[in-house]
Chain A
Amino acid sequence: MTADRRDTQPVSSDARPVPPSILGNYFSQEGAKGALVAFFSTLGFFLLAIVIIGRSENWPAVQRSFFNWDIIVDSFPKVWEGFRTNVWMFLIGQVAIMALALVIAMMRSLKGPAFFPLRLLAIVYIDFFRGIPIILGLYLFGFGVPALRLTGVPGSAAFWGLLVVVLSYSAYTAEVYRSGIDAVPDSQRLSAASLGLTQFQALRYAVLPQAIRNVIPALLNGFVSLQKDVALLAVLGVREAVREAQIASGRDFNYSPYIAATLLFLAISVPSARFADWYTARDRARRSQGVG
């Protein structure tokens, strides 16, 4: 039996990692001189980009059809209303995904011949939903199921569309959880079993808390991705931000509403991504200091 990685004593290091900032360490890595270099090279890069784009022959036309400020402002209320639909869809979706994926990952992680049917079910599920493009699932479920007009079954495209996104994301997220479960040393299960815990209890109390902590960065990353993928429901006519922008753009024959939608998506996803990076860096720093 070999000692696992948890057995090492806390290592105190003199070269403590710099505490992570929400912006990452883009500016602080090299000190003041580095910051100056970074500032001027960034400024130079963007000036160059502006000059090149501005000198393009078609720029005035592109500017009119994409960056028409008045149209952006006009379309904003409708796009914003649609965006609120996006927000609740990805919030509900994320909760459902984390729960469903956990169940699937646990099914797949149970050992012993008695649990073979559950493992098989989990594998078939994951293979199926990872194997089909979301957009195909959206067409099949979002148009197909409501067309059946089943009684007692929701008929809204938003419901079925969101369900497809949740089912698809859960397949990926289940694999994320599983990688976290696999990273917990087997000795932890053994130890739990030796206390008389059942296999399920061992998973629930000993393995999963450690596994989930291992995969929080990956889960956050998936969440950022989900925020944008719920916009795929636009193909079902769900009036979320992209669909509203489409409608507004069709009315004025101008693409500027898409810029309004773009700004809204960025306003949510950039902070989320920064948070995910910050959390990951903080977690890594804590682990390297051996502090729980």
Chain B
Amino acid sequence: MKVELTGIHKSFGTNHVLKGIDLAVDEHQVVCLIGPSGCGKSTLLRTINLLEKIDEGEVRLDGLLISGAGVDANSVRQRIGIVFQSYNLFPHMSVLKNLTLGPIKASGIPRPEAEAKAIDLLERFGLGDKVQEYPDRLSGGQQQRAAIVRALVGDPEVLLLDEITSALDPELVGEVLSVIRELATRGLTMVLATHEMGFARDVANRVVFMDAGRVVEAGPPDQVLRKPTQARTQQFLKRVIQGGRLSQ
């Protein structure tokens, strides 16, 4: 088991966001979290790399407890990459600097080595000519691809993707999803929160439907997305299909 969450509870003040979540992710698996806005998908992702401190429960990485006291959260985060909905690139740094900041400062990799690797990855993802550009000179799709490369440059064992296409213009969604598809075929372990149901069906090994801080239904994509057994899943998917985000 690569990542294992058991009994996760999380509240923000009086708002009980996660109400006892269990989730297991095998190595080389792609797990898609779906569900209505506010169901806790994003928060759940952030508990995995300890960006959110949990109130109750356990997070394990390779069987080792990482949610307890005495764990160096910064070193955990070097092993678990995350990409955000709004890219969150550093606007005052070139794309190259954005990519090498983590490896150089957090992992202590020498600059030439970090830069060579970053440039190599940028070229592989079609951003070879944007190495020295600043983020605000890139399109949304390019920025998001750069953010994905930034998360990859430290060789994470797990990649978390938090609604990474939600802030993009529709015509830019494809280029970002194709990057994720490629990563999936290479066997990277990924957990993604998404509203792209068609994409989830194609790329996921498992789909997890969440509602109001609980896992309602989980299973292979064909089962959860085509023949859901729970009433709430059925309702949600019906609305999604009416909205044109999933074809029958």
List the interface of chain A (C-beta within 8 A of B).
1-4, 6-7, 9-10, 187-188, 190-198, 201, 205-206, 209-210, 213, 290-292
Which residues does chain B contribute within 8 Å of A196, judged by CB atoms? 74-75, 77-78, 102, 106-107, 154
Classify chain B: how many residues form its interface, as a range. Answer: 35 or more
Question: Would A195 and B86 count as touching, CB distance under 8 A?
Answer: no
In the A-B complex, the 8 residue pairs with the closest CB atoms: A195-B102, A196-B106, A191-B88, A196-B78, A3-B86, A196-B77, A292-B134, A194-B82
Query: Knowing A1-B42, A7-B167, A9-B140 touch, does A197 contact B102 (C-beta < 8 A)?
Result: yes
- Distance in angstroms between the alpha carbons of A6 and B102 in the assembled complex: 21
Which residues of B are found within 8 Å of A194, using beta-carbon distances? Answer: 49, 51, 77, 81-82, 84, 151
Q: Which residues of A are found within 8 Å of B134, using beta-carbon distances? A: 292
**B246 at the A/B interface (Cβ < 8 Å)?**
no
B86 and A2 contacting across the interface, CB-CB below 8 Å: yes
The answer on a CB contact under 8 Å between A197 and B105 is: yes
Residue from A4, A198, A205 in contact with B101 in the complex, judged by beta carbons closer than 8 Å: A205
Residues of A within 8 A of B107 (CB): 196
The answer on a CB contact under 8 Å between B154 and A6 is: no
Q: Contacts A1-B84, A10-B136, A197-B106; is A188 near B167 (CB within 8 Å)?
A: no
How many whole Å from B145's CB to the nearest CB in chain A? Answer: 15
Q: Which residue of chain A is the closest to B81 with respect to CB atoms? A: A194
B91 pairs with A210, CB closer than 8 A: yes
Interface residue? B205 (CB, 8 A): no
Q: Could you tell me the distance between the alpha carbons of A206 and B98 in the complex, rounded to whole angstroms?
A: 9
Partner of B91, one of A190, A192, A205, A292: A292
User: Which residues does chain B contribute within 8 Å of A290, judged by CB atoms?
Assistant: 136
Closest A residue, CB atoms, query B74: A196
